[in-house]
Structures are given as C-alpha cells and as structure tokens.
Structure 1
C-alpha cells in the first residue's frame, strides 16, 4: 500500500523526552488497519516514509487518542527538512510487510 497525505507535526508530551508525530489521516489509517499483515509489537506496521528529500524506514503505531495511526518523526528528519510544530508535513508512506 502507498499513500500520500499532509498533516501537522505535533509533540507528545506524556513523557519527559520529546516525541514528535504526524497523525495518519482516518482514511489512510483505515486502509492500514485492513491490511493482512503479520502481528508486530504494539500493533505497529513497518513503513518506508518520504518527507521532502528524506526517505527512511520506521513503523506507524495505532493511537487511541488520534483514532488511527501515528508516524514518529525523527529529530534528524525534522532538522533536515526544517519542519516546525503545528505546520503541515507532506508525507508519502509505503508499507513494507507484504
């Protein structure tokens, strides 16, 4: 599965470390939830992500708070792509598990 979307960058403040995410839109989250993928820790799904000129591999995670999946945004990507909080991030996401 491959999808492109834009969503704001936000910080999860439940822990002392700075964790930054982009929420995967509901329609894309629904597609991810319907994929016949092998079970992984925390319900995660392995993905290849491109933001700007940066591509990396990570996982998206289900989030009850966001009612869908969330994509963690590494500091190196946020810095390289000059991402700022609450501003939209253009994302291309491709699943890797099948």
Structure 2
C-alpha cells in the first residue's frame, strides 16, 4: 500500500548533522499499523520516491512519528534544503 504525504525537511544535530523529512502524525500512525511485525528496533524498511528520485531506506521513529532519512545523494539530485516542504510517496519494502 503506497503512502503519500507532505512534510518539512528538518535537521537533527548529533555528532554530525542528519537531514530528515518529517512524516505527519496521521500518516505515521497509518504506516505503523501497516508495518506491524516488520519493524526492527522501531525502524521500518521502505522504498521512497521524492520528485524523480527513488531510494530505499528505513524510517526512523522520533517523538511518536517517523522521519525519512535524506541521504546527500538524494538531497543533491532533488535540490533539497532544510526548511523546505516536500511531498513524498513510500511503500513498505519487501521482506528479503
């Protein structure tokens, strides 16, 4: 089942800065329900499309919602900046 949502690009500073797309709470709840039994330490493997870029990653749980990690190669390909609002679609990744 595909999920489509819009969210803000945020930065989290740990030892190094990480950039994420925040999944809204409602969609996070829907994804959590659909992924029941597929999560690994709270993370959920997904296939994501932003603009013309497809990539595979794992959703990161934070404060009751999910965050989509945005790799540098994806940010460069799509011209993504912190603070920008993006629309993304994602599907749960097939279990291997």
What is the TM-score normalised by the length of structure 2?
A: 0.88
What is the TM-score normalised by the length of structure 1?
A: 0.87
**CA RMSD after TM alignment:** 1.4
1:11 and 1:38 map into 2 onto residues whose CA distance is 26
For the Cα contact (< 8 Å) 2:45–2:93, is it kept in 1?
Answer: yes
After TM superposition, give the deviation of residue 7 of structure 1 in Å.
Answer: 0.9
For the Cα contact (< 8 Å) 1:6–1:90, is it kept in 2?
Answer: yes
Residue 76 in structure 1 maps to residue 73 in structure 2: yes
Report the counterpart of residue 49 of structure 2 in structure 1.
50
Runs of 4+ in structure 1 off by over 2 angstroms are: 35-39
After TM superposition, give the deviation of residue 33 of structure 1 in Å.
Answer: 1.6
After TM superposition, give the deviation of residue 11 of structure 1 in Å.
Answer: 0.5
For the Cα contact (< 8 Å) 1:29–1:68, is it kept in 2?
Answer: yes
Count of residues paired in the alignment: 94
Report the counterpart of residue 89 of structure 2 in structure 1.
92
Report the counterpart of residue 3 of structure 1 in structure 2.
3
Deviations 1:22-56 (A, max 9, x none): 1111111111221233341x211110000111001
**Structure 1 unmatched runs, 5+:** none
